Amino acid sequence: MFTGIISGLANIVMVCHKEKFSTITVHFPTNLLYNLKIGDSVANNGCCLTVTRIKNDFVDFDIMQETLKITNLGLLKENDKINIERSLKFGDEIGGHLVSGHILGIAKILDIIDKYQNKKIFFQVCDASIMKYIFLKGFISIDGISLTIGNIYKNKFFVSFIPETIFSTNISFRKIGDIVNIEVDYYTKVFFDYMDRIRIHER
């Protein structure tokens, strides 16, 4: 599990496309390497991936075809910056909201409004069915960042970013037209899926 509080930024140094999956090599900041081992789970742009190789500061992750289809990881290229979060451990503070790292889908950046010490970004989800989990003041994870949803219209919504979030994540590099990963709060998804099952059962 993860909290959506980004641990740091990392650079993509290599992307290797294979027959049924891809491998990315990520240059980790030194502070994120502590006790990291093969088999550990790490959120890359909010997507939970398993460490497959560690060599000095370079960490490899394999990405399967299904993950490439529903996330923005298939768009990664060398020198891109991604958000990194190490998985939760017992006793860790939960400063954001609980997320599993299982991406629901993607959204496109429609507009960016920069104001003094504030950035407002408008998103459009690519799969309208995701919108049932998105509501005013609800939690959402965008590229792994724990955020609060602003106003909503049909399959569009916006989020406001404070300076600290802009400075410490890759949102500062995002442009109109970019694709981001979307995951909602774990308990929100469980609740709405449970209610859907009840409605189906009552028909």
CATH number at residue 135: 2.40.30.20
Do residues 70 and 26 both lie within one domain?
A: yes
Other CB atoms within a 10 A radius of the CB of residue 201 amount to: 7
Do residues 76 and 113 both lie within one domain?
A: no
> Is residue 43 a contact partner of residue 87, using CB atoms and an 8 Å limit?
yes
Instruction: Evaluate whether residue 97 is within a structural domain.
Output: no
**pLDDT confidence of residue 97:** 76
Do residues 78 and 110 both lie within one domain?
A: no
Do residues 82 and 110 both lie within one domain?
A: no
Do residues 124 and 193 both lie within one domain?
A: yes
- 144-195 confidence digits (pLDDT tens): 999 999 989 888 999 999 999 999 999 999 999 999 999 987 777 888 888 8
**pLDDT confidence of residue 99:** 84
- What are the DSSP calls for 14-35, one per residue? EEEE-SSEEEEEEE--GGG-TT
Do residues 61 and 112 both lie within one domain?
A: no
Specify the number of domains making up the chain.
2
**pLDDT confidence of residue 112:** 96
Average pLDDT, the chain: 91
**Spans of the chain, pLDDT less than 50:** none
Boundary residue ending a domain (57, 86, 115) = 86
**Backbone φ/ψ region at 35: left (φ over 0), alpha (ψ -120 to 50), beta:** left
**pLDDT confidence of residue 201:** 67
* Structural domain that includes position 54: 8-86
> Is residue 182 a contact partner of residue 140, using CB atoms and an 8 Å limit?
yes
